[in-house]
Structure 1
């Protein structure tokens, strides 16, 4: 990054407690976090995000699923890397600059995948 701006992640997870835990981990690692409980909410919130550094989305969401959300986000933000997460979804064809991680996962796994996708992760927690 060329500025003092913190990288921004959009976290989409319908389970409130899990979404809050993921958001907390990203915040503790130096990210600015915008979170949403559904794909539709995420798309509404995306309109107010000037630069999206990472989309982290559950695959199984109420309404639009995470696969469709990522496709829609990419139509608006072609360069945004995507991390898909799920405990029980069928893995589909991944978009470029995206990766799938199975639940359960450890925070350091998320950040390592983000770094591998080219995201400037300020503080990667160690195991």
Structure 2
């Protein structure tokens, strides 16, 4: 199952990629919404979009709106480090995870949306 992670902070992006790959998901990454949209247009097997909300250029809400225009079947997970982040009325649906989240919470959220990466039942991270 292929996912895209769009996150401007390199360390967070690398952590998410490693966490997801370790769970059997195929992952592509982008550091901003422009790169992310390009990848979404070129990768028809994507199932899930994981996006930070506060990024340079287009924010995660607008990025998700544009991504859904290209691929209406994508599921979305939003991540943010800002406690007071409010969801715009026109934002595509999807859970909002506030940093710092725990690996178990994050992976459980992903599995609830698209199933496990390996086809096996979810267990705690090792």
Q: Give me the TM-score of the superposition, normalised by structure 1.
A: 0.86
Runs of 4+ in 1 over 6 A off after TM superposition: none
**CA–CA distance in 2 between the matches of 1:90 and 1:25?**
24
RMSD: 1.5
Residues 91 and 116 (structure 1), Cα distance of their counterparts in 2 relative to 1, 3 Å cut = farther
User: Aligned with 1:53: secondary structure?
Assistant: strand
The answer to whether the 8 A contact 2:2-2:26 is kept is: yes
Query: How many aligned residue pairs are there?
Result: 119
Does 2:63 correspond to 1:65? no
Q: CA deviation at 1:56?
A: 0.4
Equivalence map 1:30-49=2 (5 Å): 30-49=24-43
Residue segments in structure 2 that go unaligned for 5+ positions in a row: none
Q: Taking structure 2 as the reference length, what is the TM-score of the superposition?
A: 0.86
- CA shift, 1:41, in A, is 0.8
CA contact (8 A) 1:107 1:125 kept: no
The CA distance in 2 between the partners of 1:40 and 1:100, in whole Å, is 21
Segments of structure 1 that go 5 or more residues without pairing to the other structure are 1-6
Which residue pairs with 1:99 in the alignment?
95
1:43-99, Cα deviation, whole Å (9 max, x unpaired): 111122112111000000110000001111111111111000001152214523x11
Secondary structure of 2:85's counterpart equals coil
Shift of 1:122: 2.5
Please tell me whether residue 12 in structure 1 is matched to residue 6 in structure 2. Answer: yes
In the alignment, the residues of structure 1 paired with residue 116 and residue 61 of structure 2 have an alpha-carbon distance, to the nearest angstrom, of 24
Which residue in the other structure is 1:114 paired with? 110
